[in-house]
Amino acid sequence: MALLNILRYPDPRLHKVAKPVTEFGDRLGTLVADMAETMYDAPGVGLAASQIDVHEQLLIIDTSDTKDDLKVFINPEITWASDEKLIYDEGCLSVPGVYDGVERHARVKVRARDLHGAAFELEADGLLAVCIQHEMDHLLGKVFVEYLSPLKRNRIKAKMVKEVRGLEREAALKAAGRRF
């Protein structure tokens, strides 16, 4: 297993629409294992393949306190959503350190395939329903900050760009130090 690089907002690759998974096998199993290790290490409760620059309809979620209930959704599709909504303070591994309220459906039904290609349906509410909707947005090329006001979104974008530049500068200095 390996830790994967998580794309950071406003990276334009986060806006690519994912394609359906058509092949189930060892490559997919390795990808899910690596995504799980990355998500747990981050730490997070969900990760979409789009966030690691793999633009396939794959997401993983584990909302358990014990981090032992990994759910894998391949080619997920929401088949029903409640009229009832809730506002949940969301965060995102692609937008570290930023949390804000986003209105989502309180309950959803999702149809997907598991790691072996078997179809299943799941009804979710609360945090799991929020996570499913959040991660599915990534597969559509959407990041949760796009639900926020333009002012908030622009402030977050500026903050993220500044942080990425700082990380790049730090990496360049470390690399230069190793050469001498």
DSSP string, 4-35: -PPP-TT-GGGGSPPBPP---SHHHHHHHHHH
User: Phi/psi at 122 (nearest 5 deg)?
Assistant: -145, 135
Answer yes or no: is 15 a known binding residue.
no
Residue 3: burial class (beta carbons within 10 Å; 0-12, 13-18, 19+): exposed
Sign of CA dihedral 101, 102, 105, 111: negative
* Whether 56 is catalytic: no
DSSP string, 54-116: --BSEEEE---SSS---EEEEEEEEEEE-S-EEEEEEEETTEEEEEEEEEEESEEEEEEE-TT
Question: What is the C-alpha separation between 76 and 112, in angstroms, rounded?
Answer: 4
Instruction: List C-alpha distances in Å: 171 to 53, 95, 140.
Output: 21, 20, 31
**Which of 84, 135, 146, 163 is flagged as catalytic?**
135
Answer yes or no: is 131 a known binding residue.
no
Q: Write out the catalytic residue numbers.
A: 135
Binding site members: 92, 134, 138
Binding site members for Fe cation: 92, 134, 138
